[in-house]
Structure 1
Amino acid sequence: MKKEDVFERYSRQIFIEEIGLEGQKRIMSAKVLVVGAGGLGSPVIQYLAAAGVGTLGVADFDRVELHNLNRQIIHNENSVGTLKVKSAEVFVERLNHQVKYIGIEEKIDQRNVEEILSLYDVIVDGSDNFSTRYLINDMCVKLRKTLVYGSILGFSGQVAILNHQGSKNLRDLFPEPPFDEDIPDCDSLGVLGALPGVVGSMMAIQALKIITGLPVHLNQITLIDTLKWRFQTLDF
């Protein structure tokens, strides 16, 4: 893409004083891994690709199902039955072909987590189970990687920046993971489709702020209650 085309495409970001040309260059050279191409991953992938993130890795081993479509907005009816990473690749290519997309068609586990995470600057966790969340968190601590954390259920969500420049991590917030089978999830209690759009967009903003070197609030978690319309930030 020619320089003038780059400016035209990203001008509304470049016009922001705190970002400018230098910030856009940082975005275009950044390597971000999004774990999960579902409810949270969808808006994260959408906005990071739109912002021009240079390399966008997406890890997911699931296939698109019809019930995903109320919230997983990068997929569509034609995607049902296909791998989510393949569907996400089509979306990203149509939105911004300059983004280098890397689809990781496997479950992140003890065997591959270090190899996968080590290739990226920022990790955005949109996974849907505690075992994966803690595995990713612990590897981010080991590799000194910044982790953007989010979760959703019903009308509620959470967002936090973890392990950024020595800040606290998930185990400082929740020392031990609960048993997944004891925790309600979207499959059992549901989720309003627009909620992951709100929470995922917040996660994307945090990732872009980190990439561009803007100040972020650390050792805090933001609690989002869209039913009562309350937003609360707690220190930990």
Structure 2
Amino acid sequence: MTLSDDELDRYARHIVLPQIGGAGQLRLKAASIAVVGAGGIGAGAIPALAGAGVGRLTIIDDDRVDLSNLQRQPLYASDQLGERKVDIAARFIGKRNSHVEVRTIPDRIEPDNGEAILGGHDLIIDGTDNFATRLTVNDAAVALGIPLLSAAAQQFQGQVALFGAKPCYRCFVGDAFDADDCDTCAELGVLGAMTGTVGNFAALLAIRTLLGLGGGDEAGTLHMFDGLALGWRKIRIAADPACRTCGGA
């Protein structure tokens, strides 16, 4: 695998970074990421990942554009109401970077399809807005042995965490939220700029993970952002020995 002249120009600002260089850019080109959810988090992460030259992106979402999405989802426009988000995201990626291969799945991750959809990727980013789907994605990621990057935003708060074999996302939230009946940003509200902040941070952490940057293992670290106080803090998440997903791993 090599970089074309177009790619060398396109990624020049990456390649001059000693931590990335041509070898790192080739690793991004060879990488495959599944983005579950093309809403607020996905709309922040997808452009950054495509611009960075991640070679293959799978976008998974069964939703269509609604007027209320436009406050926080800059991938979409007023004249696209009713269109499938994955279709618009794919067109955007094609215009932004033709070197990125895009696969779209206009479906919802369920226990009976999660492993089939998510298998074969190097990393999974979950930006969905309900615990039932998040736990389903987590269980599939653990079963497949694929790192999971979970990102969320509500009101003025954001959080991003990378999970490996253990601790997993279920260690963090437990089993109490398996039912799809929890509050979402539709009920609680969210500042539009928060989803972009969190989505871009998720993309940064994804690139960092793929390239092994930073010299530390971020798996099991929760990054929390307070949009009112304008500050980040980190919390280590402990593995739960009784976790029914990774407890026996």
Asked if these proteins are the same fold (TM beyond 0.5), I'd say yes
TM-score (norm 1): 0.94
- Match of 1:42, SS state, is helix
Q: 2:225 is paired with a residue of what secondary structure?
A: strand
* Larger displacement relative to structure 2 (208-217 or 190-199): 208-217
What is the aligned residue count? 233
- What amino acid does structure 2 have at the position aligned with 1:114? E
- Code of the residue aligned with 1:78 in structure 2: it is D
Describe how 1:1-236 pairs up with structure 2 within 5 A: 3-163=4-164, 166-178=165-177, 179-181=179-181, 183-214=182-213, 215=215, 216-236=217-237
More off after superposition, 84-93 vs 212-221: 212-221
Gaps of 5+ in 2: 238-249
Partners of 1:148 and 1:159 within 8 A in 2: yes
Q: How many percent identity over aligned positions? A: 36
SS in 2 for 1:67: helix
CA drift at 1:180: 4.0
* One-letter amino acid of the counterpart of residue 203, structure 2: A
Change (3 A) 1:48 1:177: farther
- What RMSD, in angstroms, separates the aligned Cα atoms of the two structures? 1.4
The superposition leaves residues 66-103 of structure 1 with CA deviations (integer Å, 9 ceiling, x where unpaired) of 11011111111122110000111111111111111101
Alignment TM-score, normalising by the size of structure 2 = 0.90
| Cα drift, residue 189 of structure 1 | 1.7
Range with bigger deviation, 166-175 or 219-228:
166-175
CA distance in 2, matches of 1:177, 1:94: 42
Secondary structure of the residue aligned to 1:194 is: helix
Deviation at 1:177, TM superposition (A): 3.8
SS in 2 for 1:195: helix
Q: Structure 1: how far apart are the matches of 2:193 and 2:12?
A: 28
Q: Give, in whole Å, the separation in 1 of the partners of 2:42 and 2:205.
A: 14
**Conserved in 1, the CA contact under 8 Å of 2:3 and 2:26?**
no
> What amino acid is the match of 2:209?
I
Distance 2:200 2:111 in 1: 29
- CA displacement at 1:230 relative to structure 2: 2.5
8 Å CA contact 1:59–1:107 kept in 2: the answer is: yes
CA distance in 1, matches of 2:16, 2:167: 33
Query: Can you list the C-alpha shifts for 1:166-191, whole angstroms capped at 9, x where unaligned?
Result: 4421122222242442x332101211
